[in-house]
Amino acid sequence: MVEKPHIRIELRSDPCYLAGVRQLIAGVAQRIGFDESSCSQVALAVDEALANVIRHGYCRACDRPIWISLWPSAETEEQGAGLRIEIEDEARHVDEAELCGRELDDPKPGGLGLHIIREVMDEVAYEKRKPRGMRLRMVKFAEKPTADDASALSGE
């Protein structure tokens, strides 16, 4: 049985909704234990992914569907709590080889979205949906406090 997401929203491919999505993502990340910096990073990765769907997948059309699903995960011994995010669309299929950002030493603006997503998130995977569209699956784990962090907090 496939686990249902804790949150699933559908929005239109209109950039006016991106600020609200960033707030939602950052709020969920904060609620499950991410620090402020990680909350901002996850929200930025989602924003970049959505901007790529709107710009490249839908050629800036503002009336196409995008689905966002969220699954918080519990902390384990190996890692902190996590957040799995899936973004789905009905745009054309793209081969993984086509999904490359520009070179970092290229001074022109834009083209860093994929690099940002891969740097910020712990796991990133693209897959084709049937009959059309793409799915981006991203996972981020919260930093587990170390013994040194616990000592610093207790004043030792």
Provide the residue ranges of all domains of the chain, joining segments of one domain with +: 7-154
Res. 1: pLDDT tops 50: yes
Q: What is the pLDDT of residues 85-110, one digit of tens each?
A: 999 999 998 876 665 555 555 555 45
- What is d(CA 66, CA 50) in angstroms, rounded to the nearest whole number? 8
Would you give the DSSP letter of residue 7?
Answer: E
The answer, yes or no, to whether residue 153 has pLDDT greater than 80, is no
> What tokens appear for 111 in the block?
């083209």
Neighbouring C-beta atoms of residue 90, cutoff 10 Å: 17
List the structure tokens of 107: 């001074």
Output the pLDDT for position 150: 47
pLDDT at position 119 is 93
| pLDDT of 15 over the 60 cut | yes
Q: Which of 133, 134, 136, 92 is nearest to 113 (CA)?
A: 136
- Provide CATH code, domain 7-154: 3.30.565.10
Kindly tell me if the per-residue pLDDT of 22 is higher than 80. yes
